[in-house]
A and B are shown apart, each in its own frame.
Chain A
Amino acid sequence: MSDLAQLVADLQEDKVLSEVKARLEAGEDPLAIIEEARRGMQVVGERFEQKEYFVSDLVMSAAIFAQITELIGPHLKKEAAGGKGKVVIGTVKGDIHDIGKNIVIAMLQCHGYEVIDLGVDVSPERFVEAVKESGARIVGMSALLSAVFPSIKETVEAFAAAGLRDKVKIMIGGAPVDEKVREYAGADAVGRDAMAAVYLADRFTAMLA
């Protein structure tokens, strides 16, 4: 593990931030920095599973990650900063979990997407409105509760009812969300982690071009 990944894994907030600042000043590639931070985040997840870390440590890691992406933002190349396109994202109606969704947002932003974050408990209508207003072609939906799978489906259907279904690509994610849920909801793709969201968005962008 690189030093930065190690520091993130150890949740050394101050050291992480000064390391990131130093590397940015030295002219290092911001995307290489974020990739190291992401690897550190993976280790945080593993340590949680192994009972070494607890829920508040996950919140801490998300807070550190958000600060890293903030530091990196101004250093992204112009075409990378929001230049790849817009993504409308939110936690679906009936669910208020957003730690994972916020990490996905940070990753998308670092990889050149402008993200319109609708927050939590987002109704199908608001998803549709946001796409109409922004002209975004990619939609991301997050869910942590299985009881809200119907909300994902209803949101996909709302895009169809608005005549927008073939204008947007829809990706879904969250701990319990898998291929079966994707099929049930009629979404275009499912992602297992934050990096998958970036790959999917890139794939969608290429398809839509």
Chain B
Amino acid sequence: MVRACVIACKVLEEELSRLAPAGCELCFLDQDLHRSPERLRLSLQEALRGARGCDLVLLGYGYCGGALEGLRAGTAPLVVPRVDDCITLLLGSHAARRRWGQDAYFLSAGWLAGEGNIVWEYERCLSRYGEERGTRLMRQLFRHYRRLVFINTGRQGEEAAREAAREVAGKLGLEFLTCEGQADYLEGLLRGPWDDGERFVRVPPGGEVCLTPGALPGPGPAL
């Protein structure tokens, strides 16, 4: 039996914990590490060192600002989803992500559970810079977005998170929509097959992660 170990971002904690097969080891890292791709890479490298007893390491990350580039697999092979970020993983496929186009900003309960999430950020911005300046700054940040899409994944406390997202969408002047997340991509990450060449990158033991050039499917036309 293959001993798999999942190293993933906390954003996906509940979703992956629910889907993971029995015996699969799970390790979640702080979402805040994304602030610095360099630091995220170092933390992941450290976590890989800690996963020595495994036959296979599955990463619950995407391109994440280039943080995974150059990451070195340990003694076990590595599997990395070929996605920009965890939103595609939560939506279930590249096609699902493409359907939304570029002007959609996504949230999930996992995103809102994180430190410095957008609902918290909105309040902080207004209290730091005042109602008027703060509102302008936040709207500036979202000015190229038109819609805020909340992905339902069945997490605990999802309803409250969804309402918070709805409220912040109103404040930001964004249309609020919800959609159902699909487990397909995460299931694929947990159970394979990983060799379709499309959805996953496989890195042999000791190899280096390279997700760059041409490797990622382009955004393509909206379906």
Q: What is A's interface to B at a CB cutoff of 8 Å?
A: 48-49, 51, 54-57, 59-60, 63, 93-99, 120-121, 144-151, 153, 175-176, 178, 180-181, 183-185
Contact = CB atoms under 8 A, between A and B. Distances in A.
14 contacts: A48-B35, A49-B39, A54-B116, A93-B219, A145-B219, A147-B63, A147-B219, A148-B219, A149-B216, A151-B219, A153-B214, A175-B66, A176-B66, A180-B69
A178 B66 contact: yes
Interface string B126-139: 00110000100110
Given A56-B134, A147-B84, A183-B213, A121 B102 contact: yes
Nearest to B94: A147
Contacts of B138: 56, 59
A54 B63 contact: no
A99 B214 CA distance: 25
B192 interface: no
A178 B137 contact: no
Closest 8 CB pairs of A and B: A184-B213, A150-B218, A96-B144, A56-B125, A146-B63, A176-B66, A94-B219, A49-B36
A178 B211 CA distance: 12
B212 interface: yes
Contacts of A57: 128
B140 A59 contact: yes
Contacts of B84: 145-147
Interface in B190-217: 210-214, 216-217
A8 to B, nearest CB: 15
B184 interface: no
Contact of B213 (A51, A60, A149): A149
A184 B214 contact: yes
B140 A63 contact: yes
B134 A147 contact: no
B53 interface: no
B103 interface: yes
Interface of B: 32, 35-37, 39, 63, 65-66, 69, 84, 102-103, 116, 121, 124-125, 128-129, 134, 137-138, 140-141, 144-145, 210-214, 216-219
Contact of A146 (B39, B66, B128): B66
A174 to B, nearest CB: 9
B137 A96 contact: no
A176 B216 CA distance: 13
A60 B124 CA distance: 13
Contacts of B211: 146
Given A146-B66, A149-B216, A180 B210 contact: yes
A59 B138 CA distance: 8
A186 to B, nearest CB: 10
B212 A178 contact: yes
Contact of B218 (A59, A63, A148, A185): A148
A95 B219 CA distance: 9
Which residue, of A99, A148, A185, has the highest number of chain B Cβ atoms within 10 A?
A148
A120 B66 contact: no
Contacts of B125: 54, 56
A54 B219 CA distance: 28
A160 to B, nearest CB: 17
A151 B218 contact: yes
Contacts of B69: 178, 180
Contact of A54 (B121, B213, B217, B218): B121
Contacts of A184: 212-214
Given A99-B141, A178-B212, 8 more contacts: A97-B144, A120-B144, A121-B102, A146-B212, A149-B216, A150-B218, A180-B213, A183-B213
A81 B195 CA distance: 55
A181 B102 contact: no
